[in-house]
């Protein structure tokens, strides 16, 4: 008999479908005292239009704590989750490193991918705003080394 863990793992297609929905990415970096620094970010896909064909990226202020942390130690863990009742819980944990992007054109593309996912298409005025904001921001692309997923609805209400 298969373990409960193996019963609730998502397939690659299920992970793609789950991450296709605009959700919040909770990211944990290692703070200066060695404890997790946890924040929520919107994210987009770069170098592809879904998780299995691209990478997750987001942008943030260049002087933010998460950037300071990643410069010191590039390890990062990210979580996207959904559900309120046990039988609804779904999630994807991504473990790896955060690659810092300081090229302005790449930062703009990450920002457009993120904005499009969460707020809809970016028009010319939106792009101009993003280009101005990108001057003081940095992009972060996840280099994923491990994926852990779960979908408790696969248990059919049992445990």
Question: Phi/psi at 78 (nearest 5 deg)?
Answer: -125, 150
Residue by residue, pLDDT tens for the chain (159 residues) are: 567 678 899 999 999 999 999 999 999 999 999 999 999 999 999 999 999 999 999 999 999 999 999 999 999 999 999 999 999 999 999 999 999 999 999 999 999 999 999 999 999 999 999 999 999 999 999 999 999 999 999 987 666
Query: Does any domain span residue 150?
Result: yes
Strands 44-46 vs 36-41: parallel, antiparallel or unpaired: unpaired
Q: What local confidence, expressed as pLDDT, does residue 42 receive?
A: 97
Buried b / exposed e over 109-134, threshold 16 CB at 10 Å, is bbbbbbbebeeeebeeebeeebeeeb
CA distances from 17 to 49, 50, 74, 129, 158 (A): 11, 9, 28, 30, 24
Please, which residues have CB within 8 angstroms of residue 50's CB and are 6 or more apart in sequence? 16, 19, 20
Q: Say if 159 falls within a structural domain.
A: no
Within a domain: residue 81?
yes
Domain that holds residue 24: 4-154
Kindly report the CATH number assigned to the domain that includes residue 29. 2.30.110.10
Number of structural domains in the chain: 1
The DSSP element (H or E) to which 14 belongs, if any, is: helix 12-20
The answer to whether position 117 is within a domain reads yes
Q: Give dist(CA 145, CA 99) in Å, integer.
A: 13
The kind and range of the H/E element at 101 are strand 90-101
């Amino acid at each position: 008999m298969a373990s409960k863990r193996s019963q609730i793992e998502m397939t690659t297609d299920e992970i793609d479908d789950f991450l296709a929905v605009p959700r919040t990415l909770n990211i944990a970096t290692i703070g200066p005292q060695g404890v997790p620094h946890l924040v929520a970010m919107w994210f987009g896909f770069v170098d592809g239009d879904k998780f299995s064909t691209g990478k997750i990226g987001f942008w943030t202020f260049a002087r933010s704590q998460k950037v300071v942390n990643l410069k010191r130690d590039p390890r990062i863990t990210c979580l996207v989750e959904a559900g309120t009742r046990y039988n609804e819980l779904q999630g994807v944990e991504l473990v790896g490193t955060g690659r810092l992007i300081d090229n302005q054109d790449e930062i703009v593309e990450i920002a457009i991918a993120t904005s499009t996912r969460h707020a809809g298409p970016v028009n010319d005025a939106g792009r101009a705003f993003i280009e101005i904001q990108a001057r003081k921001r940095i992009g972060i692309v996840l280099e994923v080394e491990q994926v852990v997923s779960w979908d408790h609805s696969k248990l059919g209400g049992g445990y």
